[in-house]
Amino acid sequence: MRGVRGWSRPRGGSRRSTTAPRPWGRTSTPWLYLAPALVVLGGLLVYPVYQLGLISFFQYTQAQVSGGEPTTFEGFGNYAELFGDEQFWQVLLATVLFAAACVVSTLAVGCALAVLLTRVRALPRLVLMLAALGAWATPAVTGSTVWLLLFDPDFGPVNRILGLGDHSWTYGRYSAFFLVLLEVVWCSFPFVMVTVYAGIRAVPGEVLEAAALDGASQWRIWRSVLAPMLRPILTVVTIQSVIWDFKVFTQIYVMTNGGGIAGQNLVLNVYAYQQAFASSKYSLGSAIGVVMLLLLLAATLVYLRLLRRQGEEL
């Protein structure tokens, strides 16, 4: 098993491999290996991003798509329209708060269960692991419909168990967001749990035993021993959760039927899609896309600085 091999290997053994200059280093081979990836990414990611930026500066509606009218340069017109729109700021705030709530809940649940996994014997561990893998494997579309059925006011078991009658979860703004949050946490905590668990397992047992012998409490062990050792892993799962939860689309789209009553449950991604494909305002949708891109870029820069501060080498 990799985990076991991982901690019997002297620490830092892998770092040397990248710092030592390679005798065969000065060739074109790396670029040869990179060529397919760069071609695919250039054509299907970089170029569309460039196009996205371009479209956001033009007037681009159904008429231009069908070729009926020429495209006209708008400058920052689309952005001015967007920033002048009160709904945009509302959606932006909702997106940030919703993503933050999802990330915090996912990390809390995932880490707690990872610690729990280390405290139990093989059978309960396997059962919980399989259940989590099941949640993880469930496609977003099916997960969304299943949770809707569970919380359905007429036929769902949850309202029966809680004795809520025909209370509708998707009617109120906050309860609808809460329902989506539950589904998002359900399908994304397994990644955190499995990754953190694998990380804890790679921590040498002697370290933990020494801490326990010195009289450290469970909480103290987690805070002062495990958390610092797991920091690289925690950084990775945090940033991945931020990326995924900020971009939530399917769950909101399916569970609140495209953004909720009067758009009360819109998040940026769904908002951009609605503007572009439902209202045919392709340039406005692109402008929202650009805003999202810049926000996530800012998050990436913070992440990179964190990695650098930890002395991590890329």
Partner 1 sequence: MNPPRLRVQRPWRLAAEASALLIAVVVAFPLYWMVLSAFKPAGEIESSEPRPWTLAPSLDSFRRVFGQQEFGRYFVNSLVVACTVVIVSALIAFLAATAVTRFRFRFRTTLLIMFLVAQMVPVEALTIPLFFLMRDFGQLNTLGALILPHIAFSLPFAIWMLRGFVKAVPEALEEAAYIDGASRARFLWQILFPLVFPGLVATSVFSFISAWNDFLFAKSFIISDTSQSTLPMALLVFYKPDDPDWGGVMAASTVMTIPVLIFFVLVQRRLVSGLGGAVKD
Tell which positions 185-214 bind partner 1, by CB under 8 A: 186, 191, 194-195, 197-205, 208-209, 212
Residue number, 104 or 129, with CB nearest to partner 1: 129
148 CB neighbour count, 10 Å cutoff: 18
- Judged by CB under 8 A, the chain residues 160 through 179 that form the site for partner 1 are 160
Whole-angstrom Cα distance, residue 287 to residue 281? Answer: 10
Whole-angstrom Cα distance, residue 188 to residue 225? Answer: 26
Whole-angstrom Cα distance, residue 40 to residue 114? Answer: 37
CB of 103 to partner 1, least distance (A): 15
User: Residue for token digits 């080498």?
Assistant: 313
Note whether 216 binds partner 1 by CB under 8 A: no
Chosen residue from 70, 297, 309, 311 binding partner 1 by CB under 8 A: 297
Q: How many residues in the shown chain lie near partner 1 by CB under 8 A? A: 119
Contact code string over 111-150 relative to partner 1, x by CB under 8 A: --x--xxxxxx--xx-xxxxxxxxxxxxxxxxx-xxxxxx
Residue number, 38 or 97, with CB nearest to partner 1: 38
CB of 254 to partner 1, least distance (A): 7
Q: Which two tokens stand for residue 9?
A: 């290997």
Return the sign of the alpha-carbon dihedral for residues 249, 65, 58, 61.
Answer: negative
Contact code string over 62-101 relative to partner 1, x by CB under 8 A: ----------------------------------------
Whole-angstrom Cα distance, residue 276 to residue 238? Answer: 30
Residue number, 96 or 236, with CB nearest to partner 1: 236
- Judged by CB under 8 A, the chain residues 230 through 289 that form the site for partner 1 are 232-233, 236-237, 243, 246-247, 249-250, 254, 257, 268-269, 272-273, 276-277, 282, 285-286, 288-289
Chosen residue from 18, 72, 87, 217 binding partner 1 by CB under 8 A: 18
Please name the amino acid found at residue 288. I
Whole-angstrom Cα distance, residue 222 to residue 115? Answer: 9
Q: Which residues lie across from 72 on neighbouring strands?
A: 59
Whole-angstrom Cα distance, residue 128 to residue 133? Answer: 9
